[in-house]
């Protein structure tokens, strides 16, 4: 049966199991929106700016484990979407983005709202397609979802010229996707897994270093089994938070630039470091020569190009984190059949004592104040109020790092943050996607006053689409993270960082039909959080916090992780930090 290309697109989405599309219409995709008018079984959420559609799809994908979908028009809409695509690319989030394109006969003519969409998105997607023949619509959409969700997940972009959407075609729907050029490897090499198990069995100072790969492979249970079986201390990256409960005695919290003292010390002094679904990002390693200098490194990752990219790895294991962990647990059990040598047992006992000492000596800490709200305190109270059972989303900046440090994450797939790209404005639209994927659940967007303003228009979407996202603005009246760097590394030469108290967040919330609350004193905080959670509508909770507060510990960019700055630094430390600075 022949049908218009636009209808084929919708049919394919439905067959693919898609129930929700985030989008914004325009000239080139009018045929799709026309077909959507009476198409059943597909919810469309109208966003206010195209990047928000991309971020919402990311939030949907990260918390549901399914592919997120967004749909926008040609030209400026596609270019607006680019930030979200690159964000999904850096954080390996499976989304499929559809853009409109001018009719095929006009491509290359500098037509109205034309851009070289696939040329622009090529480096910021896992793969992209320009549909030139309507008979390819089904196979391409099928391949797009297959590529996005398998191997190392990522964004896939499909560009749809208008004439392809208008003309009638047969619906071609391949039952299976088979690509000779794309066959990710899922099972780790048994020999390497055995080597890893042997290393772990004779390690005196083992550490597991866990990233977002564990979340996307849904491998938390297997990870916990391995950690508990071997009593291995475990640290998580920003992307990995939630893969392992933070309150577990083996948890070392986050590592890296703003990671915990004990995580960075443990990694630095480890003799066997097992990286699982993590990629040795520069924010984690600091100076690479000084990263875990004495460790034998095992690296489990589904992407072969992640291995030995930044750090030379002794035992590479290419495969799906879950499948590899299952085999690694088996192999490690096998090793445990022979009793561990007394030297190893004594080493492990001392290692556990050393880590306990580090944890005791330098926990995450800040100075309490009765007068002004400390931002860390806000996160602690949100954590207490939700018991780690809420979906947490952040923007980018100081508030993001404090959330990573002070929120007690319990479960995987309940945490969304822009890790790789560091996209300010990520919070609200992503939280919208999370809320749409998880109706009736509590979704809290912890944002900064700078970050939030980059996508605050989406409050309108929250209101009209019935998405009761709660936003807590950690309001310090400026770009706090930039301020912190200027304070510590650029000798207090504060440049272009002040954001005067405009807009009035409470009134802005009300203008969008949402509820606005404000806190200026520590004593007001807990009741306000409770009120926010109890309110069924979207809420903005504006918390005016101490603007001088900095995120500690901090490793200056290019410094070694052992050079952490732990407390507001003296002039001497600041000069040293300025010198060690090798570029941001």
Catalytic residue, from 11, 16, 49, 50: name it.
50
Q: Interface with another protein includes 95 (CB under 8 A)?
A: no
Instruction: Restricting to residues 206-235, name those near another protein by CB under 8 A.
Output: 216-218
Q: Is 524 a catalytic residue?
A: no
Pick the closest to residue 298 from 183, 203, 187 (CA basis): 203
CA angle 148, 154, 160 (to 5 degrees): 60
Asked whether the beta carbons of 223 and 323 are under 8 A apart, the reply is no
- In this chain, which of 38, 40, 247, 289 binds another protein, going by CB under 8 A? 289
Q: Among residues 112, 357, 530, 531, which one is catalytic?
A: 112
Name residues whose C-beta falls within 8 Å of residue 249's C-beta, 6 or more positions apart in sequence: none
Footprint (CB under 8 A) of another protein, residues 515-544: none
Q: Is 244 left (phi over 0), alpha (psi -120 to 50) or beta?
A: beta
- The verdict on whether 581 is a catalytic residue reads no
Secondary structure class of 309 (helix, strand, coil) = coil
Among 49, 86, 121, 150, binds another protein (CB under 8 A): 150
CA distance 357 to 321: 31
The structure tokens 């004439």 sit at: 163
Is 253 in contact with 235 (CB distance < 8 Å)?
yes
Residue 550: phi and psi, rounded to 5, are: -115, 160
Cis peptide before 503 (omega within 30 of 0): yes
291 classed as catalytic: no
**Piece of 118-126, 189-197, 332-340, 568-576 that binds another protein (CB under 8 A):** 118-126
Closest by CA position to 413, among listed 12, 59, 2, 51: 59
Residue 583 engages another protein in binding (rule: CB under 8 A): no
Give whichever of 161 and 478 is closer to another protein, judged by the CB atom: 161
Strand order in the sheet with 155-161: 43-46, 20-23, 68-72, 95-101, 155-161, 127-130
Minimum CB–partner distance for residue 17 and another protein (Å): 4
Q: Is 357 a catalytic residue?
A: no
Q: Does 16 bind another protein (CB under 8 A)?
A: yes
Please report whether residue 241 would count as binding another protein according to CB under 8 A. no
Find the part of the chain contacting another protein (CB under 8 A) among 65-73, 241-249, 258-266, 529-537: 65-73
18 near another protein, rule: CB under 8 A? yes
Residues in contact with another protein, counted by CB under 8 A, come to a total of: 49
The answer to whether residue 247 forms part of the interface with another protein (CB under 8 A) is no
In DSSP terms, 517 is beta-bridged to 541
Q: Are 205 and 347 in contact (CB under 8 A)?
A: yes
Of the candidate spans 189-197, 235-243, 299-307, 383-391, the one that interacts with another protein by CB under 8 A turns out to be 299-307
CB of 578 vs another protein, minimal distance in Å? 26
Nearer to another protein by Cβ, of 135 and 457: the residue is 135
Does 176 bind another protein (CB under 8 A)? Our answer is yes
Rounded Cα distance between 382 and 318, Å, is 38
Minimum distance from CB of 216 to another protein (Å)? 6
Q: Figure out which of the listed residues 2, 112, 133, 183 binds another protein, where binding follows CB under 8 A.
A: 183
Contacts of 579 (CB under 8 A, 6+ apart): none
Q: Which residue has the tokens 């879950």?
A: 322
Taking the complex as a whole, the smallest distance from the CB of residue 405 to another protein amounts, in Å, to 29
Which residues contribute to the site for another protein (CB under 8 A)? 15-18, 65-67, 94, 118-119, 122-123, 126-127, 130, 145-147, 149-151, 153, 175-186, 216-218, 288-289, 303-305, 308-312, 320, 323
Q: List active site positions.
A: 50, 112-113, 162, 481
């Amino acid at each position: 049966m022949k049908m218009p290309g636009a209808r084929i697109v919708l049919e394919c989405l439905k067959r693919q199991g898609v129930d929700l599309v985030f989008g914004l219409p325009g000239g080139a995709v009018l045929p799709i929106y026309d077909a959507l008018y009476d198409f059943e079984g597909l919810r469309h959420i109208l966003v206010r700016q195209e990047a928000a559609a991309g971020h919402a799809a990311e939030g949907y994908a990260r918390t549901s484990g399914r592919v997120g979908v967004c749909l926008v028009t040609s030209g400026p809409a596609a270019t607006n979407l680019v930030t979200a695509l690159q964000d999904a690319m850096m954080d390996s989030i499976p989304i499929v983005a559809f853009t409109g394109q001018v009719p095929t006969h006009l491509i290359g003519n500098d037509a109205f709202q034309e851009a070289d969409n696939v040329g622009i998105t090529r480096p910021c997607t896992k793969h992209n397609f320009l549909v030139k023949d309507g008979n390819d619509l089904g196979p391409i959409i099928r391949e797009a979802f297959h590529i996005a969700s398998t191997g190392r997940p990522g964004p896939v972009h499909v560009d749809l010229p208008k004439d392809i959407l208008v003309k009638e075609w047969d619906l071609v729907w391949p039952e299976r996707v088979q690509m000779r050029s794309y066959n990710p490897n899922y099972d780790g090499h048994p020999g390497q897994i055995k080597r890893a198990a042997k290393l772990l069995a004779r390690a005196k100072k083992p550490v597991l270093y866990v990233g977002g790969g564990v979340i996307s492979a849904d491998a938390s249970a297997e990870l916990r089994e391995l950690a508990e079986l071997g009593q291995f201390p475990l640290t998580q990256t920003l992307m990995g938070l939630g893969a392992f409960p933070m309150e577990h005695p083996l948890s070392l919290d986050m590592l890296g630039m703003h990671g915990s003292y004990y995580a960075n010390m443990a990694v630095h002094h480890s003799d066997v470091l097992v990286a699982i679904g993590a990629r040795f990002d520069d924010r984690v390693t600091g100076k690479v020569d000084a990263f875990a200098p004495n460790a034998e490194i095992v690296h489990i990752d589904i992407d072969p190009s992640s291995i030995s990219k930044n750090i030379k790895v002794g035992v590479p294991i290419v495969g799906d984190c879950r499948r590899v962990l299952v085999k690694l647990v088996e192999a490690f059990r096998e090793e445990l059949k022979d009793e561990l040598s007394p030297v190893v047992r004594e080493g492990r006992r001392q290692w556990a004592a050393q880590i306990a000492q580090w944890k005791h000596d330098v926990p995450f800490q800040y100075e309490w104040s009765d007068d002004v709200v400390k931002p860390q305190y806000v996160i602690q109270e949100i954590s207490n109020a939700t018991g780690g059972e809420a979906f947490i989303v952040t923007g980018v900046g100081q508030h993001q790092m404090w959330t990573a440090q002070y929120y007690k994450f319990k479960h995987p797939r309940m945490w969304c943050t822009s890790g790789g790209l560091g996209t300010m404005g990520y919070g609200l639209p992503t939280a919208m996607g999370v809320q749409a994927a998880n109706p009736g659940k509590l979704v809290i967007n912890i944002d900064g006053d700078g970050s939030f303003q980059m996508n605050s228009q989406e409050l309108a979407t929250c209101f009209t689409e019935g998405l009761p996202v709660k936003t807590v603005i950690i309001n310090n009246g400026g770009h706090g993270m930039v301020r912190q760097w200027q304070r510590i590394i650029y000798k207090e030469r504060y440049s272009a960082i002040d954001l005067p108290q405009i807009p009035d967040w409470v009134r802005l919330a009300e203008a969008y039909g949402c509820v606005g609350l404000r806190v200026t004193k520590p004593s007001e905080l807990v009741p306000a959080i409770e009120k926010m959670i109890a309110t069924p509508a979207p809420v903005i909770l504006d918390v005016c916090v101490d603007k001088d507060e900095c995120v500690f510990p901090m490793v200056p960019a290019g410094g070694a992780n052992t050079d952490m700055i732990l407390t507001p630094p003296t002039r001497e430390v600041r000069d040293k930090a300025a010198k060690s600075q090798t570029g941001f």
